[in-house]
Amino acid sequence: PRLITLHDSGTFIIPNNGNLTEFQGNYRCFATNKLGTAMSEEIEFIVPNIPKFPKEIIDPIEVMEGQSVILECNPPKGIPPLQIYWMTLSLQHIEQDERVSVGLNGNLYFSNAIETDSRRDYCCFAAFPRIRTIVQKTAMSVVVKSNKLMKDSGSGRGYANSLLERKPSLLTPTGKESHTYLVKGEDLQLECIAEGFPTPKVEWVKIGFHKLPERAVVESHGKLLTIEMVNEEDEGKYMCRVKNPHGEVVHYFHVSVEEPLEFEIEPQSQLVTIGADVVIKCVVKANPQPSVVWRVNGRLLNEVPTSNRKVLKDGTISIHNAKPENSAVYQCEATNRHGTILVNANIMIMNIQPLILTENNLQYMAVEGKGVVMHCKVFSSPTSSITWSKTDSANSVEGERFSVYKNGSLEIHNVMKEDMGEYSCFAQNTEGKVAIAATLEVKDPTRIVDPPHDLRVLVGTTIQFSCQAEFDPSFGDDFEILWEKDGMALNGSENARYILDDGVLEIINVSFGDQGFYVCVARTPVDQDMAVAQLSVVDVPDPPEDVVLSEHNGRSVKLQWIPGDDHNSSITKFVIEFEESQHEPGSWREMMRVPGNHHFALLNLHGHVDYRFRVSATNEVGRGRPSQATEGYKTPASAPDKNPENIKIEGHLPHEMDLNWEPLSPIEHNGPGLEYKVSYRRQGTGEDWTEHMVKRHSFVVKNTPTFVLYEIKIQAKNHAGWGPDPEIITAYSGEDFPSAAPENVAIDGMNNTMVKVRWDHVHKDKLNGHLGGYRISFWRLRSLLNSKKTHGDKHTLTFSGERNHTVITGLKPFSEYSLIVMAFNSRGNGPGSHPISFQTPEGVPGQVSALSVTNLQNHKITLTWSPPVDANGLIIGYILQYQLINDTEELGSPTTLNISADSSKLHLQDLEAMSKYKFYLRCCTRVGCGPAVSEERTTVAEASEYGWQLFRGKSGSQFPPRKTTVPPVANATLSSIAVLNISTSVSHNFANISWIPDKEQTESELYVAFMNNREGNWKISDALNSSKTFHIIEGLEPGTEYTVRLMTKSWVDNSSIFEDVIRTSAKGLASIHGGISNQGWFIGLMCAIALLTLIVLIACFVNRNKGGKYSVKEKEDLHPDLESQGINDDTFCEYSDDEKPLKSSQHSLNGDLKGGDSGDSMVDYGDEDAHFNEDGSFIGEYSGRKERVSMEIKGNNQSTA
């Protein structure tokens, strides 16, 4: 009832009934069965009392000043560890130093007392952490009396001290030497506390060595030497030397490190056959040498005698001809002053057939290429022989890959697939034979094929580690991928920032705590593979700390700081900023930058400024937050360090000189009262300086001669003095317009679009200033095809510097121009030279306008055209070429025809019916032929009784009436045609197209399309029933040419059934339509009017071609090949790098280009530094009318009819 025991257990419980102290003592545990008794080592059970200091009355300790004092603690006994504290009653620690210290024994030592040591509440506190108890000793009083000699005598304090001074003596330890014994692994502590005056110092040495061991630490102001975990190397003789100016004292410590108790040969349990000899060895290693005691079944060996057992001299037990009754448990116990160790050995003497302890029919799984161990643990006496065999193999398992161990286990190295199957283990001795079976399965190895990679990321981002592996498919759901960090498994449910999904580890909002090594573990029940990746988290550096100012020296100071954490990215630089409270409080400006390995900077400051400073660090991620600002530092006032910079001197007026400069910033004033002294004089005249004091940063010098050289200097000044001597600069006074024009202006023609201009420089005395350069103004007077002169737009080219020639490009061929040259300076242009006229030679004409192919018949067509917009000379004729296009779109041999210059129409005959032709038409002058315009058309099929008929009864018609009939079915695409006798009639603002339906055909849909030939945009009517017989086209412009088509489809292509070119009459002519248009007298009248109108139009056309202006040509015409125009190498050699020809610019022609549109001209051959002050482009201005262009519907390849 006093103890509580547990069934079949060696554990018992002592209930705390208030009498635990009765159970204090040493205990052993004994375990017994029929084969013997085993025992444990002794266990000491201690029931500690609550430690207490005795209640006592301690007399005050009185000492003279300078004497030593020892306050004893004598702590009560208790469970270690013990911790000693000396404090006052108000729990203030007694401060320790070289004079005052607490010893290892708990005493408080004063090497020499001083008056301030006097107090009544010196308390020793003893702390026992294991029982959570602190006890306090009665407070002690110390009274330190001052030296009367110092008070009574008239001598100084130094004399009194000299009487108290003495050599040191040891308070602890006592004597000259001592011995310390430790067990290997314990901590060594050596202490020397001495008294003396002045306070002595302690030194430590190890005899025979130059210095203490590296692991030695000196603490407690030099009084305590500590070496943790001592070993044999720490043995030896140590010395502490205590000295002051009056002498020294030493103490020697002999340190011995002893070996702990350890079995060198431990008794082993044995299973022995009957009649065999048994040897039980027990060898113990220790220092000092231990005593060894043998026991059997817990009793001393001599208490259980037997005839066949004896103990040898070395302590070995020998049993001869062992019998079953010799079976027992033997104990070997060794003891020395450091403790006791004990070991049990079971000795069993018997004969028994093999008993296989391993379970039968176990299944083992192995990984291909790895090893596997199959067990066959056998208990037998005598020892059994063990063999293994594979069921499908007659022989035992043999070979280098197979190993059978003494414990019966079979290991297969480098397992292969063919090793799968059933195995048998056989155990046999003299008493019998037994066997068990085992099955082996071989699996594919698990292998990580896509390991995670090291990452270096910015804090706060989201990262992903990916890990993919291959494994044996038979495992299925038994395969898993796990993640570990720094040896700890990661679980997404415990940390919401970790997301683990299908081999991917995602970490959201990465922090610095996330950096480390991450391990991907791909695991199956039989094997695993691992891959490691490192995560490094970077960020901008933390703010520097402890930013302080030192070495204050007027206008310089030293700034120091301690760098903050660089967050895995080395600091590359520090940025120092300042704030000054007088001019821009609250605004931080950068002062300087220092390399990242510097932690201080010497700052040179401005005067009369109240500064504060801060520092920020920068790494590859960026710049971190700034540090806390330093305390303020105000510099004394001083004279300005610099004078104004960026002085600009300009002469806007002929008799004035404007001075402007960049003022000193407020912080550069260096003190109050800043002013500027402006000094100037004419250079080379010997005049005195004219001086003015100004507070602004500009000054105007008046009444100066025009363009005269002056010397100027500007100096800063404040109340503290003048700035440095200013630099003298020179500049000219105000300029005036140049007074002379360039002379000997000459022009050399280069080709029909380019000329070279030369002139003589204006003398510098006439420039009245710095030469800015020269300007050339030129304009076109007329085309040489027209005798009437006009003044075209003026164009100006500007050239900087000392130029005396240039090249003008982009001129119109066969034209007359005029130009002038003038010099200019910053004031403006001088007078122009006398105008010079020149003419450009004839050139190649432009493209023919508005080529139309009409009146398509089976063997005939009609071509009409207009002369080119840019004739560029006298037209001498046209060249027409045409080619037959076969069914494979291949071109046949060209046929060429020469056409006279006054022709605008051509009838071609003898063509093949239903054939496609391509036509090319070029215009020619005496210089050559221009670019070709092309059209493609197809002739119609043969017809015996049908033909086309075109009836045009209006006076605006350009073509004679003609009639054509259409066969009912022309081809597959026109199978729905059901109209005959198609005709048109025209008024000034509308046109009528009419037809006669074919009675034999069914009704069908028709569409009417028309196009303004100047604009090129088709308009298509709504669907018309063929039975309607006519359609009126309204909203036409008077005097305008249109193309009209009748079609069977609602889009424009080449498959129209009728096409004609019409021209509306001029506005004001009567329009007769309806029934009167079919009467003969009306038709005759209209024909006469049409003929008269045609004559007038031809006359107007010729007149316009002679006197009109020409539009811009295509890019290739604006930029002729220089070599083809006769410019030889000598001509080009005239131009150096600063006189390249001006380069022309151009606009491509389109249907919207008006006569007033133009393109800049002076680019291609211009100087790289030339300035073009043109009011606008000039080439296009010479076009007097809208240019006729090729007309196309977007998306179709439809040419003009």
To 5 degrees, how large is the angle CA 1164–CA 1170–CA 1174? 80
User: Looking at the predicted structure, is the pLDDT value of residue 69 above 80?
Assistant: yes
Ramachandran region, residue 74 (left: φ > 0; alpha: ψ -120 to 50; beta: rest): left
To 5 degrees, how large is the angle CA 189–CA 192–CA 197? 160
| Residue 760, pLDDT score | 95
CATH architecture under which domain 854-942 falls: Sandwich (2.60)
| Residue 1103, pLDDT score | 62
Average pLDDT over residues 699-722: 93
Fold of 545-634: Immunoglobulin-like (2.60.40)
User: Looking at the predicted structure, is the pLDDT value of residue 1046 above 60?
Assistant: yes
**Yes or no: domain 53-161 corresponds to CATH 2.40.50.140:** no
User: Looking at the predicted structure, is the pLDDT value of residue 240 above 60?
Assistant: yes
CA distance 1165 to 1170: 10
User: Looking at the predicted structure, is the pLDDT value of residue 1190 above 80?
Assistant: no
Tell me the backbone φ, ψ of residue 391, rounded to 5 degrees. -60, -40
**Structure tokens that stand for 881 in this block:** 């070429």
pLDDT, tens digit, 9 for 90 and up, residues 447-497: 999 999 999 999 999 999 999 999 999 998 899 999 999 889 998 788 889
User: Looking at the predicted structure, is the pLDDT value of residue 1146 above 80?
Assistant: no
Please tell me whether residue 961 adopts helix, strand or coil conformation.
coil
Nearest to 307 by CA among 324, 289, 326: 326
> What is the percentage of the chain residues whose pLDDT exceeds 90?
63
Nearest to 171 by CA among 102, 226, 238, 118: 102
**Yes or no: domain 645-732 corresponds to CATH 2.60.40.10:** yes
Spell out the CATH class of 743-844+1113-1182: mainly beta
Give percent helix, percent strand, percent coil of the chain, each to the nearest 5. Answer: 10, 45, 50
For residue 975, what pLDDT band results from cuts at 50, 70 and 90? very low
| Residue 1149, pLDDT score | 33
CA distance 1166 to 228: 91
| Residue 1135, pLDDT score | 34
Contact between 46 and 88 under an 8 Å Cβ cutoff? The reply is no
| Residue 456, pLDDT score | 94
Q: Which residues pair with 1183 in a beta bridge?
A: none
Contact between 251 and 176 under an 8 Å Cβ cutoff? The reply is yes
Contact between 932 and 920 under an 8 Å Cβ cutoff? The reply is yes
Higher pLDDT, 106 or 1030: 106
Peptide bond just before 129 cis, omega within 30 deg: no
pLDDT, tens digit, 9 for 90 and up, residues 882-941: 999 998 888 889 999 999 999 999 999 999 998 999 999 999 999 999 999 999 999 887
Is beta strand 656-662 parallel, antiparallel or unpaired with respect to 610-618? unpaired
For residues 631, 634, 635, 641, the Cα torsion angle rounded to the nearest 10 degrees is: 100
**Structure tokens that stand for 1181 in this block:** 């201005």
CATH architecture under which domain 943-1108 falls: Sandwich (2.60)
Tell me the backbone φ, ψ of residue 786, rounded to 5 degrees. -125, 130
Q: What is the DSSP letter of 973?
A: G
For residue 706, what pLDDT band results from cuts at 50, 70 and 90? confident
- The H helix count followed by the E strand count for the chain is 5, 93
> What is the percentage of the chain residues whose pLDDT exceeds 70?
84
| Residue 78, pLDDT score | 87
CA distance 253 to 240: 8
Spell out the CATH class of 447-538: mainly beta
- Cα separations (Å) of 1106 from 783, 848, 850, 1110? 8, 16, 19, 10
User: Looking at the predicted structure, is the pLDDT value of residue 1066 above 50?
Assistant: yes
Burial 196-215 (b: 16+ CB within 10 A, else e): bbbbbbbebebeeeeeebee
Tracing tokens 């020409």 back to the chain, one arrives at 1110
User: Looking at the predicted structure, is the pLDDT value of residue 986 above 90?
Assistant: no
Sequence-distant (6+) residues with CB within 8 A of 1080 are none
| Residue 1002, pLDDT score | 63
Average pLDDT over residues 1127-1137: 34
For residue 192, what pLDDT band results from cuts at 50, 70 and 90? very high
| Residue 1104, pLDDT score | 58
| Residue 1201, pLDDT score | 30
For the chain, domain boundaries:
4-45, 53-161, 357-443, 447-538, 545-634, 645-732, 743-844+1113-1182, 854-942, 943-1108
Average pLDDT over residues 150-179: 72
User: Looking at the predicted structure, is the pLDDT value of residue 1078 above 70?
Assistant: no
User: Looking at the predicted structure, is the pLDDT value of residue 1039 above 90?
Assistant: no
For residue 1105, what pLDDT band results from cuts at 50, 70 and 90? low
Tally of CB atoms within 10 A around 642? 12
Say how many CA atoms lie within 13 Å of 123 toward its Cβ. Answer: 18
Contacts 24+ apart (CB under 8 A), 326-329: 326/278, 327/35, 327/36, 328/35, 328/36, 328/296, 328/297, 329/35, 329/36, 329/37, 329/38, 329/296, 329/297, 329/298
* DSSP secondary structure of 1027-1083: GG-EEEE-SPPTT-EEEEEEESSSS-SS--SEEEEEEPPPTTS----GGGGGSHHHH
Is this structure's pTM higher than 0.85? no
**Structure tokens that stand for 155 in this block:** 């001598």
Please tell me whether residue 478 adopts helix, strand or coil conformation.
helix
Contact between 257 and 229 under an 8 Å Cβ cutoff? The reply is no
Tally of CB atoms within 10 A around 399? 8
Contacts 24+ apart (CB under 8 A), 1104-1109: 1104/1184, 1104/1185, 1105/785, 1105/867, 1105/871, 1106/785, 1106/786, 1107/783, 1107/785, 1107/786, 1107/788, 1107/1184, 1108/783, 1108/786, 1108/1183, 1108/1184, 1108/1185, 1109/783, 1109/1155, 1109/1181, 1109/1182, 1109/1183, 1109/1184
Nearest to 142 by CA among 119, 112, 125: 119
Q: Which residues pair with 178 in a beta bridge?
A: 253
Q: Do domains 743-844+1113-1182 and 943-1108 have the same CATH topology?
A: yes
| Residue 989, pLDDT score | 86
Nearest to 149 by CA among 136, 159, 138: 159
Sequence-distant (6+) residues with CB within 8 A of 135 are 51, 52, 53, 75, 76, 125, 126
pLDDT, tens digit, 9 for 90 and up, residues 592-624: 999 999 999 999 999 999 999 999 999 999 999
For residue 3, what pLDDT band results from cuts at 50, 70 and 90? confident
Average pLDDT over residues 1030-1035: 87
* DSSP secondary structure of 81-121: P-EEEEE-TT-PBPP--SSEEE-TTS-EEESS--GGG-EEE
Sign of the dihedral through C-alpha 1037, 1192, 1145, 744? negative
For residue 875, what pLDDT band results from cuts at 50, 70 and 90? very high
Query: Average per-residue pLDDT in the chain?
Result: 84
**Structure tokens that stand for 1109 in this block:** 């202006």
Sequence-distant (6+) residues with CB within 8 A of 1097 are 958
For the chain, the residue count is 1201
| Residue 822, pLDDT score | 97
Please tell me whether residue 527 adopts helix, strand or coil conformation.
coil
Q: Please give the radius of gyration of the chain, using alpha carbons only, rounded to the nearest integer.
A: 61
For residues 519, 525, 526, 529, the Cα torsion angle rounded to the nearest 10 degrees is: -20
pLDDT, tens digit, 9 for 90 and up, residues 372-423: 999 999 999 999 999 999 987 765 688 899 999 999 999 999 999 999 999 9
Sequence-distant (6+) residues with CB within 8 A of 1081 are none
**Structure tokens that stand for 958 in this block:** 């350009």
For residue 980, what pLDDT band results from cuts at 50, 70 and 90? low
For residue 357, what pLDDT band results from cuts at 50, 70 and 90? very high
CATH architecture under which domain 357-443 falls: Sandwich (2.60)
Burial status of residue 932 (CB atoms within 10 A of its CB: 0-12, 13-18, 19 or more): middle
